[in-house]
Amino acid sequence: MTKFNVIRGSITAPQGFRAAACFCDVKTLGTGKGSKKGQKRDLALIVSDVPAKAAGMFTTNQICAAPVKVCVEHLKNNTAQAVVVNSGNANACTGPQGMIDAREMAAATAQALGLAEANVMVGSTGRIGVHLPMQNIRTGIATTAEQLKSTQTAATHVAEAIMTSDTKPKQIAVEFKLSGKTVRLGGIAKGAGMIQPGMSPTGARPASAPQGLHATMLGYLTTDAKVSAANLKKFLREAVAQSFNCITVDGDMSTNDTVLLLANGIAGNSKLIAADLKIFQAALNHICLELAKMIVRDGEGITRVVTVRVTGAKSFADADAAARAVGNSALVKTSWCGGDPNWGRIIDALGYSPATVVEENVDIAYSTPGAKKKIYSLKKGRSARTSFETLCKAVEPKEFELHINLNLGKSETVLYATDLTEEYVDFNKGDITDLASLGG
Amino acid sequence: MTKFNVIRGSITAPQGFRAAACFCDVKTLGTGKGSKKGQKRDLALIVSDVPAKAAGMFTTNQICAAPVKVCVEHLKNNTAQAVVVNSGNANACTGPQGMIDAREMAAATAQALGLAEANVMVGSTGRIGVHLPMQNIRTGIATTAEQLKSTQTAATHVAEAIMTSDTKPKQIAVEFKLSGKTVRLGGIAKGAGMIQPGMSPTGARPASAPQGLHATMLGYLTTDAKVSAANLKKFLREAVAQSFNCITVDGDMSTNDTVLLLANGIAGNSKLIAADLKIFQAALNHICLELAKMIVRDGEGITRVVTVRVTGAKSFADADAAARAVGNSALVKTSWCGGDPNWGRIIDALGYSPATVVEENVDIAYSTPGAKKKIYSLKKGRSARTSFETLCKAVEPKEFELHINLNLGKSETVLYATDLTEEYVDFNKGDITDLASLGG
């Protein structure tokens, strides 16, 4: 089925991409607070040797950060050659100065690399409402631009530089053939908290706002395939819909969520035919889903990952609403933390979701990833009389699948969710003595 | 303005109401587990000397417990004379047997007291999906029916008997004059977890499901005023809309939320004139709001109560959606727990809410309850440059007000919300060794 192979590496696996990252102290401005390792990288560049076709998906949060606005603007020509991104500061809610700063990040990168400013994409992640320390950013860009390499080490440095509360870098790459040419597709991502992305190509919300579409997640994808701008947009939209837009850690959609895909065409494949379109989409879907799952598995303080599979919904909107009600319910999430197979809380959340739900129709079951056998807790709204011990075992693994069949229609969806732990609360209640030193 | 006085007592303060409660071991069936005090009361009766006009408001959760269905049915004649309620078991998701059991609770109460079965209201709160131990319930009803008293002690016993994770009973009463007659209005309530009620008179959801309307909360209200059934319904609907339907602890709407108001007419006032309608509504609003606030203040594990006041919204639906997005955001709630005046998380939640929000228009400020002075953290989408220390002081009190002005219209709302603490997670992740002994 799948005609691609997972290979080592990420954004520098495809031909013609270079990367570098440095520490320029964006977050703590020399105080050293907040950085556990002292010199954690916080500014990165990803650069293509030639202008690449590019597509993006952006947060649909109405409060949208300056770097996102600059990306949407710069993507109008469907072309990008470089991405500059910092962690430690989101450059969100920073007003006109925030826009000036985001544009200056692009301009400084364009100047350092001799590129067109409109071909530079900008990303930021971190605290909201604080102006970027532009002197540090300028120095960081100049330093990083001189260190660009096509090595995997360089890619890892970038994957580390975009981390905020993430505990590990997230990377993947695949290889496949298009018209006889070997093509590669790689990606990196970050997440951890404020994670329930709902992205669209322009950041604009659908006329009817999707229910529950709510860390900053950043994803940067590169390929040396030759793909038209129109196909690239379509590929990315579908891939994001079944991956990054299907995850939740805490139900909070960020102001900065961004996924970018750059295709520089250096592999030299011919124009894509129908079979090629399928294989490219499958490869991209795989990359995006694996990165999305890495984000969920590294969610703040989490101890369990639950794949919520809703089937039998009257509509996709119903399936999505049902899955998000369950995956974001404080009571369901705390029961997952405790290893309690509490189906009462699950059906309660289904019942208050906007989805149409009929008690007498609802089936709830568990399985381990990859296994076919389902352990039912509820059949047609009634206890399946499975022993409590058996149900406890079903929800004990670090990862399990929750199957909810509403038995009302044919629509379905999948949501990758997490438990809610004391560690999440402890981490996010923060330490105001640390924050005070940063000026809020 | 207000022409009522708060007096001592609750449901037995009005003339002609008696109450009693007993321990019949509904929750642990003799295992003694789960009950901290061994013999915690878990079954209660509230009885009027004469048939009373009655109105109710019920959960709009599509998964609706049997006692709620029985109440809706029994309220068709707008008359009630007794309420029978148990804690420790919700009798929710219990199928046809659950309906049989709920009806038997009404029938046994009617028989013990010599009333019409249709005039008995039923309530249950506790674990979902477990059948009621009917032998215990029958014994409990028979015992309790012989102990009915019009004392405040009896009312307190009932307020205690309906508690689940509540740490204290919740009671209030007021006294006022209607056509020269002294009239009293009293109430009790319980809450603690699975708290974000959204109730309607029949439990039916509005055609367009209210955004975010989501422990079981129970509220029982009594008055000796003479009020028509039509007025009673109108009074209760308005009172609940500005109280119980405006609170959230964890954003989870229960299967059992119920508020009942019984008016037995014993005070002997004449038909209500316009001025009387106003005073009754004001008194009922006060009772409901005070009970609702008691629920929030006793929310599971909470350390702070935040009154979220949204103004300047384009519509009431927008104001409500904005307030609920903020009041239910895991990141906002954990920042409240930590005493962190993080406006970035607040504006982020506003931005992903279904409400229309324009970054450049948003004001965010704090005040202490009752004080007029507002401390601004954000003005027109920009930092108000208030010192971090000053903002920290504003969010330090156990109770504070958060003012959000969207500056887009004239609609407004208030939501009484809480922080999210490690204690909440610890309590709700539960102890599966305890649960196993209860058969799940």
Q: Cβ atoms within 10 A of the Cβ of A93, count?
A: 26
A371 at interface of B, judged by CB pairs closer than 8 A: no
CA A93 to each of CA A138, A407, B93: distance values in angstroms, whole numbers, following the listed order: 21, 44, 46
Look at residue A206 in the predicted model and tell me its pLDDT: 56
| H or E element in which residue A143 lies | helix A134-145
Choose the weakest-confidence range: B163-177, B189-203, B220-234, B405-419: B189-203
- Phi and psi at residue A200, in whole multiples of 5°? -135, 165
CB contact under 8 A, A63 and B251: no
CATH 3.60.70.12 range(s) for chain B read: 4-297
CA quadruple A126, B345, B321, A315: dihedral positive or negative? positive
pLDDT value of residue B201:
72
- Confidence band, pLDDT 50/70/90 cuts, at residue B28: confident
Superfamily of domain B4-297: L-amino peptidase D-ALA esterase/amidase (3.60.70.12)
Task: Please determine, for residue B105, whether its predicted confidence score (pLDDT) is greater than 80.
Answer: yes
Cα A191–Cα A195–Cα A198 angle in degrees, nearest 5? 115
- The count of other CB atoms within 10 Å of the CB of residue B308 is 23
Q: What's residue B213's pLDDT? A: 32
B436 pLDDT more than 50: no
Please give the radius of gyration of chain A, using alpha carbons only, rounded to the nearest integer. Answer: 22
- Per-residue confidence (pLDDT) for residue A194, from 0 to 100: 77
Instruction: Kindly list the residues from chain B whose CB atom is less than 8 angstroms away from the CB atom of residue A360.
Output: 95
- Top-confidence residue, A39 or A375: A375
Query: Can you tell me the distance from the alpha carbon of A40 to that of A19, in angstroms, rounded to the nearest whole number?
Result: 17
Average pLDDT over residues A204-220: 59
Instruction: Note whether A129 contacts B344, CB cutoff 8 Å.
Output: yes
Interface test with B, best of A253, A432, A437, A438 (most B CBs within 10 A): A432
- Which pLDDT score is estimated for B155? 97
Query: Residue A211: its pLDDT value, please?
Result: 33
**What secondary structure letter does DSSP report for B245?**
G
- Confidence category of residue B206, pLDDT binned at 50, 70, 90: low
Q: Residues of B numbered 205-234 whose beta carbons fall under 8 angstroms of chain A's beta carbons: which are they?
A: 209, 213-214
Token pair recorded at residue A314: 């009257």
Which of A346, A339, A352, A337 lies closest to A365, judged by CA? A346
Plot region of B292 (φ>0 → left; ψ -120 to 50 → alpha; else → beta): alpha
Give B88-100 pLDDT, tens digit per residue: 999 999 999 999 9
B61 touches chain A (CB under 8 A): yes
> Of B216, B255, B307, B418, which residue is the catalytic one?
B216
Considering only alpha carbons, which residue of chain A is nearest residue B427? A334
At residue B43, does pLDDT exceed 60? yes
A17-31, A190-204, B44-58 — most confident range: B44-58
Question: Rounded to an integer, what distance in angstroms lies between the CA atom of residue B332 and that of residue A24?
Answer: 29
Residue in B217, B352, B361 to test binding to A, most A beta-carbons within 10 Å: B352
Are A425 and B334 a contacting pair at CB < 8 A?
yes
Active site residue A216: yes
- A349 and B CB contact within 8 Å: yes
Say if residues B10 and B21 touch (Cβ distance below 8 Å). Answer: no
Q: Is B346 on the interface with A (CB under 8 A)?
A: no
Distance CA A284, CA B331 (A): 31
The predicted structure's pLDDT at residue A369 = 86
A181-198 pLDDT, tens digit per residue, is 999 999 999 988 777 776
pLDDT score for A29: 65
| Inter-chain residue contact B388 with A435, CB threshold 8 Å | yes
Could you tell me how far CA A288 lies from the centroid of its own chain? 8
Q: Does the structure show a pLDDT above 80 at B27?
A: no
Q: Which residues make up the CATH 3.10.20.340 domain(s) of chain B? A: 305-420
DSSP code per residue over B251-303: SPPPS--EEEEEE--TT---S--HHHHHHHHHHHHHHHHHHHHHHHHT-TT--
Number of other residues whose CB lies within 10 A of the CB of residue A335: 24
A366 has a pLDDT exceeding 80 = yes
The residue that leads in pLDDT, B369 or A159, is: A159
pLDDT computed for residue B252 by the predictor = 87
3-state secondary structure B380-430: CCEECCCCHHHHHHHCCCCEEEEEEECCCCCEEEEEEEECCCHHHHHHHHC
Best-predicted range by mean pLDDT (A229-233, B215-219, B367-371): A229-233
Mean pLDDT of B244-268: 93
Instruction: Tell me A206's DSSP state.
Output: P
Predicted local distance difference test score (pLDDT) of residue A213: 32
What angle do helix axes A330-338 and A316-328 make, rounded to 10 degrees?
60
B140-198, pLDDT tens digit by residue? 999 999 999 999 999 999 999 999 888 999 999 999 999 999 999 999 999 887 777 76
Q: What is the pLDDT of residue B30?
A: 53
Query: Taking all residues of chain A, what is their mean pLDDT, rounded to a whole number?
Result: 90
Cα B176 to Cα B174: distance, rounded to the nearest angstrom: 7
| CATH superfamily, region B305-420 | ArgJ beta chain, C-terminal domain (3.10.20.340)
Is the pLDDT at A429 greater than 80, yes or no?
Answer: yes
pLDDT of the residue at B3: 87
Cβ(B64)–Cβ(B203) below 8 Å: yes
Tell me, rounded to whole angstroms, the distance of Cα A381 from its chain centroid: 35
Separation of alpha carbons B246 and B290, rounded Å: 12
pLDDT, position A30? 53
Report residue B2's pLDDT band, with 50, 70 and 90 as the boundaries. low
Q: Which value does ipTM take for this structure?
A: 0.88
Treating both helix axes as pointing N-terminal to C-terminal, what angle do B343-352 and B316-328 enclose, rounded to 10 degrees? 130
